Amino acid sequence: MFENKIAYWADLKGMKHKALAKQCGVSPQTFSNWVRNITQPDLERAAQLANIFGILLDELVRKEGEEK
């Protein structure tokens, strides 16, 4: 679902993964699993990440090439 978009937005915004994990209230390992697409955040955490990145949740979860 996230297709490495968490890593993309974190890098684009210059945000450190450890700081983002803390902001989301999860461990760095959990955040790392999201970045590596091993697990995915729940809807609340995904919305929180979108807010932190300053984007719509749709931008974070939509697959590339998928229509709005």
| pLDDT grade for 63, boundaries at 50, 70 and 90 | confident
Segment 6-60, tens digit of pLDDT: 999 999 999 999 999 999 999 999 999 999 989 999 999 999 999 999 999 999 9
**Count of C-beta atoms within a 10 Å radius of residue 50:** 18
Q: Which residues contact 59 (CB under 8 A, 6 or more apart)?
A: 5, 50
For domain 5-61, the question of CATH label 1.10.260.40 is answered with yes
What's the predicted TM-score (pTM) here? 0.84
